[in-house]
Chain A
Amino acid sequence: MSETKEIIISTDKIHTDQYLVNMGPQHPSTHGVLRLLVSLEGEVVHHIQPHVGYIHSGIEKMCEAISYPQIIHLTDRMDYLSAHMNNEAVALCVENALQVEVPDRVKYIRTIMDELSRLASHQLWWCVMGMDLGALTTFFYGLRDREHILDIFEETCGARMTVNYNLPGGLMFDIHPNFQKRVKDFLKEFKTKLPEYDELLTGNVIFRQRVDNIGHLTLEDAIAWGVTGPSGRGSGFSCDVRKHQPYSAYPMVQFEEKLDTKGDSFVRYRLRIEEMWESIHIIEQLIDNIPEGDYAVKMKGVIKLPEGEFYQRVESARGEFGVYIVSDGKKNPYRVKFRSPGFSNLFALNKMAAGHKIADLVAIMSTLDLVIPDIDR
């Protein structure tokens, strides 16, 4: 930081102007249609103003006209990389409102699916992170491993990304007979692949120089800006909903909330890699112990929530995802609000990246792991 400050001061003396560059909406590193209005002084980023809304699809408004099972299928389209967590959030919210207790089998399967989604999401994040920094090969290694998870999803849920596997009161189907074997095979293989990730990128001296001590976010800022997920935990913000307000089978498993206080890009990177190990650990505890039982509770044909307000928080791959449902007793909700993790995370970008170079801005944005439909909804 001190170096960059000096640069700014010295350019003041020569009297130079800042110039504005539009990064996006069509830009390779914004991963979608995000526009960053960046004011630059030479290579140094002075201020970033994010402009969102290019794929705002009005999901909250649409939800007011449809029933609860239908809402679940819409949540797939928000954060498509953690579709299952979003599904689960709505399903849990409806179940809590109706005070339905789902069987243990459902909880176990949901948790396994959550962690598989998290793995898939982090794998994609890893390969995109490498690509943003110019190491294009990581992209294919990440996708190669993610393919196995998507195959598992496809076999059990019937779709690869927009899984729509949850219903209020349980699951859409029971797990496929091959599910357990496939998951175990995948974990066995992925455990040999994950160290390769480290060798290829984590240890690499060029990579380390690009991310070490870049994009600091203090604990105070992380809380104030609501930066959650691995990005927030990198700053020491203990915000894992799985720990603090456990849902599904998370109370029954042992896992660690990975925390670090340094808050730079590398820590955010490392925490995600560690979270992958943690996810593997969680799945391994559950996969052999899925209890017998029904995969869904019998629900009424038309689900009506009692009057009132309901909020459900889950930990999606990017951070805390929340569903706020206001019901007036009809089969459609009165108001639905989705608290998306990316929305809060994005707006802390200026805090992190101002004063760094353009290349660092790209790296910092990668470590935030933004998904644009999640921000725009």
Chain B
Amino acid sequence: MGFNIYDFTGMTHNMHVSFMEHMSPLMTTIVEWTIIGVCYLLFIALFGLFLVYAERKVCAMFQQRMGPMRVGYWGLLQTIADFIKLLMKELITPKGVDKFLYNLAPFIIMIATFMAMAVLPFAKGLQTLDFDIGVFYVTAVSSIGVIGILIAGWSSNNKYSLIGAMRSGAQILSYELSVSLSLVTMIILAGSMQLSVIVEGQRDAWFIFKGHVPALIAFVIFLIAGTAETNRGPFDLAEAESELTAGFHTEYSGIKFAFFFLAEYINMFIVAAMAVTVFLGGWMPLHFGSLESFNHVMDFIPPLVWFFLKVGGVIFLIMWFKWTFPRLRVDQILTLEWKYLLPINLVNILLMSLVVLTKFHL
């Protein structure tokens, strides 16, 4: 198997062993945590910036523009320049805000994002926490973010922010259901909630192929609901530029605004990564049952590349939605969830159970 050279399990295990040789167990834990923390921080900062750049370029391409072209080659350093600008901006605290909550909100959103990142399997062995309830954990943690949005909207002492926050609350509460149910559909197929097991289960074929029509429906619903959960267009009611100026983060400036901004993009990454892990085989290469030589060629591409390629594809799809569709109204967004996505989802679970019971998926 040409697969093992890309297995990170040995590497991480060896690192752990060598740390244990030189340090006390407590020290080892602290050092390992620090390394992981720094890695995540760097990843979020750099990948977030890259996503912002990608979004600007992609939207420019949709709109027959060129996008950022000035800073660096094809504007590659543009977002870094923007980030430096945001870092240096004055942190304005408006009159009448609840100072404690106002300052807390960006951190809650950031922390929620970090927590969800913890279980994502980037490649074999490259996963910080491998819970046996990984899927459940992600859905639970990703709904913490809305608390941050609500706090931000309420504490800003701004009517626009409050409306935005309340919209966001209603929206995420409803769409959490669809996300969970579409994941439940896939859990029925996978037979486990542990993300590494789910990925391993897709070694021969991705779940979206294995699960036939129900998996496809679940994927579409997951994409829609996931987009809604990240507050991105066409579901960006909480921000709704033309209605509420900037919604819940109207009053934030400088690095606090950057937190919200970055969290939005990282949330988009998390949704895409979950979609990839559960539906598109995670870091597994694309395999077709009988094409041996094709499968071998695919195996030579490292799993990290596979993972990020798929994530990139899903993110592109989400961006495509945003730059094509108008925004929904707040009652329509709830109609879509309760009248369309939820019933379809429930029927879909039934269908999937039938598929699994009849062993049709094998």
Which residue of B has the minimal Cβ distance to A4? B331
A141 within 8 A of B: yes
Which residue of A has the minimal Cβ distance to B62? A137
B236 within 8 A of A: yes
- Knowing A28-B245, A131-B242, A359-B243 are in contact, say whether A140-B63 is a contact too (CB < 8 A): yes
A residues in contact with B331, CB < 8 Å: 357
The answer to whether B330 and A357 touch across the interface, beta carbons within 8 angstroms, is yes
B residues in contact with A62, CB < 8 Å: none
The answer to whether A136 and B245 touch across the interface, beta carbons within 8 angstroms, is no
Residue from B163, B167, B242, B330 within 8 A of A133 (CB atoms): B242
CA distance in complex: A137, B332 (Å): 22
A residues in contact with B160, CB < 8 Å: 21
- Knowing A29-B242, A362-B243 are in contact, say whether A134-B65 is a contact too (CB < 8 A): no
Segment with Cβ contacts to B, from A118-126, A204-212, A252-260, A337-345: A204-212
CA distance in complex: A135, B327 (Å): 7
B59 within 8 A of A: yes
The answer to whether A134 and B326 touch across the interface, beta carbons within 8 angstroms, is yes
Which residue of B has the minimal Cβ distance to A139? B63
The answer to whether B243 and A135 touch across the interface, beta carbons within 8 angstroms, is no
A181 within 8 A of B: no
B residues in contact with A209, CB < 8 Å: 328-329, 332
Q: Mark A356-368, 1 if CB is under 8 A from B, else 0.
A: 0111101000000
Residue from A21, A132, A144, A360 within 8 A of B329 (CB atoms): A360
- Nearest-neighbour CB distance to chain A for B115, whole angstroms, equals 30
A residues in contact with B332, CB < 8 Å: 206, 209-210
B residues in contact with A201, CB < 8 Å: 326
Interface residues of B in 304-362 (CB under 8 A from A): 323-332
- Nearest-neighbour CB distance to chain A for B285, whole angstroms, equals 34
A200 within 8 A of B: yes
What count of chain B residues pass the 8 Å CB interface test? 29
B residues in contact with A139, CB < 8 Å: 63
A residues in contact with B324, CB < 8 Å: 135, 137, 200
The answer to whether B243 and A141 touch across the interface, beta carbons within 8 angstroms, is no
- Nearest-neighbour CB distance to chain B for A276, whole angstroms, equals 20
A198 within 8 A of B: no
- Nearest-neighbour CB distance to chain A for B346, whole angstroms, equals 22
The answer to whether B234 and A359 touch across the interface, beta carbons within 8 angstroms, is no
Q: Mark B151-167, 1 if CB is under 8 A from A, else 0.
A: 00000000110010001
The answer to whether B240 and A134 touch across the interface, beta carbons within 8 angstroms, is yes
- Nearest-neighbour CB distance to chain A for B142, whole angstroms, equals 23
CA distance in complex: A131, B243 (Å): 11
A307 within 8 A of B: no
The answer to whether B159 and A19 touch across the interface, beta carbons within 8 angstroms, is yes
A355 within 8 A of B: no
- Nearest-neighbour CB distance to chain A for B171, whole angstroms, equals 12
The answer to whether A359 and B329 touch across the interface, beta carbons within 8 angstroms, is yes
The answer to whether B323 and A136 touch across the interface, beta carbons within 8 angstroms, is yes
B14 within 8 A of A: no
Interface size class of A (residues with CB under 8 A): 20 to 34
Which residue of A has the minimal Cβ distance to B329? A359
CA distance in complex: A357, B244 (Å): 12
- Knowing A19-B159, A134-B234 are in contact, say whether A206-B62 is a contact too (CB < 8 A): no
Residue from B59, B243, B323, B329 within 8 A of A29 (CB atoms): B243
B64 within 8 A of A: yes
- Nearest-neighbour CB distance to chain A for B315, whole angstroms, equals 17
Q: Mark B162-202, 1 if CB is under 8 A from A, else 0.
A: 01000100000000000000000000000000000000000
A263 within 8 A of B: no
Residue from B64, B233, B240, B323 within 8 A of A359 (CB atoms): B240
B residues in contact with A29, CB < 8 Å: 242-243
- Knowing A130-B326, A204-B326, A206-B326 are in contact, say whether A140-B64 is a contact too (CB < 8 A): yes
- Nearest-neighbour CB distance to chain B for A353, whole angstroms, equals 13
- Knowing A200-B324, A359-B327 are in contact, say whether A141-B63 is a contact too (CB < 8 A): yes
CA distance in complex: A140, B60 (Å): 9
B7 within 8 A of A: no
CA distance in complex: A358, B247 (Å): 13
A27 within 8 A of B: yes
Which residue of A has the minimal Cβ distance to B328? A206
- Nearest-neighbour CB distance to chain A for B261, whole angstroms, equals 17
CA distance in complex: A358, B331 (Å): 11
A residues in contact with B65, CB < 8 Å: 140
A residues in contact with B244, CB < 8 Å: 358
B241 within 8 A of A: yes
Interface residues of A in 170-227 (CB under 8 A from B): 200-201, 204, 206-207, 209-210
B residues in contact with A133, CB < 8 Å: 242, 326-327
Which residue of B has the minimal Cβ distance to A43? B330
CA distance in complex: A88, B45 (Å): 57
A residues in contact with B163, CB < 8 Å: 43, 358
Interface residues of A in 216-257 (CB under 8 A from B): none
CA distance in complex: A210, B242 (Å): 14
- Knowing A134-B234, A136-B59, A141-B63 are in contact, say whether A206-B325 is a contact too (CB < 8 A): yes
CA distance in complex: A141, B327 (Å): 18
The answer to whether B326 and A135 touch across the interface, beta carbons within 8 angstroms, is yes
- Nearest-neighbour CB distance to chain A for B329, whole angstroms, equals 4
B residues in contact with A27, CB < 8 Å: 245
Which residue of B has the minimal Cβ distance to A140? B63
Which residue of B has the minimal Cβ distance to A30? B242
5 contacts between A and B (CB under 8 A): A134-B242, A141-B63, A204-B325, A209-B332, A210-B327
Q: A133-B326, A210-B329, A357-B329 are in contact. List 18 more A-B contacts (CB 8 A).
A: A28-B241, A29-B243, A133-B242, A134-B233, A134-B236, A134-B242, A135-B324, A136-B59, A136-B63, A137-B324, A141-B63, A201-B326, A204-B325, A206-B325, A206-B326, A210-B326, A210-B332, A359-B330
A contact residues vs B (CB 8 Å cutoff): 19, 21, 27-29, 43, 130-137, 139-141, 144, 200-201, 204, 206-207, 209-210, 357-360, 362
Cβ-closest 5 pairs across A and B: A134-B327, A140-B63, A133-B326, A135-B326, A29-B242
